[in-house]
A = this chain, B = another copy of it.
Amino acid sequence: MATDSTSTSKGPGRPSSSPSERLLGGIFARGEAAAETGDEALLGAMLDVEAALARAWARTGAIPAGDADAIAAACDPARFDVAALGAEAARHAQPVVGLVAALRAAVGPPADEHVHRGATSQDVLDTALMLVARRALAPLAGDLRAAADACAALAREHARTPIAGRTLLQQALPTTFGLKAAGWTVALDDARAELMRVRAEVLAVQLGGPVGALDAPEVAAALGKELGLAVPPIPWHADRRRPAQLAAALGVAAGAVAKLARDVTLLAQDEVAEVREGGAGGRSSAMAHKRNPVASVSALACAQRAPGLVATLLGAMGQEHERAAGAWQAEWEPLLELLRVTGSAAAWARDLLEHLQVDTVRMAELAGPDPDLGVAAELVNRALATRG
């Protein structure tokens, strides 16, 4: 990885801001959700909102269709200078004023006067963050689904595989590994279902104008339709239930991953040795039979960061009047980060569960007196029967 310094346009040593290409990105930005949470993704989402807004107004006849097309054509993230926008953001405590000015310049007359019509900066940023969330939740939920599928397969296969039940980290009565995996499956499925509910019902267009008093239901409806977001009865500038509920659902999903990853690290201890990770990571060159539980450790590391971020989002709900002096702005990066680390946790969980190696002989050895395998199998069946 050390290279001479002549090669690429980016050059060695020049870090990218794409979350997955950063120094710790392999751990904390795994999977496809991360790409939706970086600067390019947020910039792209803001531009998508501006483009959709122009088209929505055009649909109402308020601006010429050609102008909307011109605006939409200019909404190409590659044409904007992120660092310059970032510097300009410092002058307004938000990045939209600078973006709109740059977009107007890119569009040129006469269409430039229709850029950002009726909207306030918060409309664009709130809607863009909802859009970012919508986009990130798709791969995130996909990874949770794949993880749950892998988990359900383990549950089915091992429905009657005895394993020691353990309470307070002490061996208790036996259960089956399948029932344990069924518990993980239910948790993953439920967490995903809740995220999908939030995605469909909670993620919503923001369109309220300067003080949340814009009444443009047709435009909002068109925006919602184009961007795949719900259309709320009234603007929600200072009612932060939506980011907070999104955060909470992500926190619960991270917790579901933490539970199974914790179990795997414990089952993979040398002294227990009932499972072993089988993914690409963790192989020791010196000791071929040794495997560090890289996936579960990484999943835990991602998941443990969620509660503090959720608390930040919840703590930001008490926003002043029509736009908060600090609390609104405090939401942005934590929300992006929460999407990223929860997405990464989900991707690690998938990797972990799709490659988990199970030592049924060792499990039986430690399980002690036979569990009631019939009961366990019945519970596994019942758990899996509820899957969509």
- Indicate if the CB atoms of A305 and B312 lie closer than 8 Å: yes
- Indicate if the CB atoms of A85 and B282 lie closer than 8 Å: no
How many copies of the polypeptide does the oligomer hold?
4
A364 contacts chain B at the CB level, 8 A cutoff: no
A342 vs B45: C-alpha distance when bound (angstroms) = 28
Chain B residues whose C-beta falls within 8 Å of the C-beta of A298 in the assembled complex: 90, 93, 326, 329
**In chain B, what residue has the closest Cβ to A314?**
B307
- Indicate if the CB atoms of A233 and B382 lie closer than 8 Å: yes
A172 contacts chain B at the CB level, 8 A cutoff: yes
Interchain residue pairs with CB less than 8 A apart (21): A1-B105, A2-B74, A5-B79, A15-B39, A16-B82, A93-B297, A166-B269, A167-B323, A168-B324, A170-B290, A170-B292, A176-B213, A183-B237, A215-B379, A217-B382, A234-B382, A234-B383, A248-B248, A256-B317, A259-B318, A271-B366
- Indicate if the CB atoms of A2 and B80 lie closer than 8 Å: yes
- Indicate if the CB atoms of A169 and B269 lie closer than 8 Å: yes
- Indicate if the CB atoms of B308 and A183 lie closer than 8 Å: no
A172 vs B225: C-alpha distance when bound (angstroms) = 30
A301 vs B263: C-alpha distance when bound (angstroms) = 18
- Indicate if the CB atoms of A15 and B1 lie closer than 8 Å: no
- Indicate if the CB atoms of B233 and A82 lie closer than 8 Å: no
Q: Scoring A residues 221 to 242 as 1 if CB is less than 8 Å from chain B, else 0, what string do you get?
A: 0000000000001111111110
Pick the contact of A308: B171, B191, B315 (CB < 8 A): B315
Pick the contact of A87: B26, B167, B179, B299 (CB < 8 A): B26
Chain B residues whose C-beta falls within 8 Å of the C-beta of A90 in the assembled complex: 26-27, 30, 281, 294, 298
Q: Scoring A residues 66 to 94 as 1 if CB is less than 8 Å from chain B, else 0, what string do you get?
A: 00000000100111111111111111111
Pick the contact of A375: B92, B164, B213, B265 (CB < 8 A): B213
Interface size bracket, A side: 35 or more
- Indicate if the CB atoms of A294 and B91 lie closer than 8 Å: yes
- Indicate if the CB atoms of B183 and A252 lie closer than 8 Å: no
- Indicate if the CB atoms of A314 and B5 lie closer than 8 Å: no
A319 vs B382: C-alpha distance when bound (angstroms) = 23
A240 vs B77: C-alpha distance when bound (angstroms) = 41
**In chain B, what residue has the closest Cβ to A290?**
B170
Contact residues, A12-47 vs B (CB, 8 A):
12-18, 20-28, 30, 38-40, 42-43
A56 vs B333: C-alpha distance when bound (angstroms) = 40
- Indicate if the CB atoms of A265 and B169 lie closer than 8 Å: yes
CB distance from A161 to the nearest CB of B (A): 13
- Indicate if the CB atoms of B234 and A241 lie closer than 8 Å: no
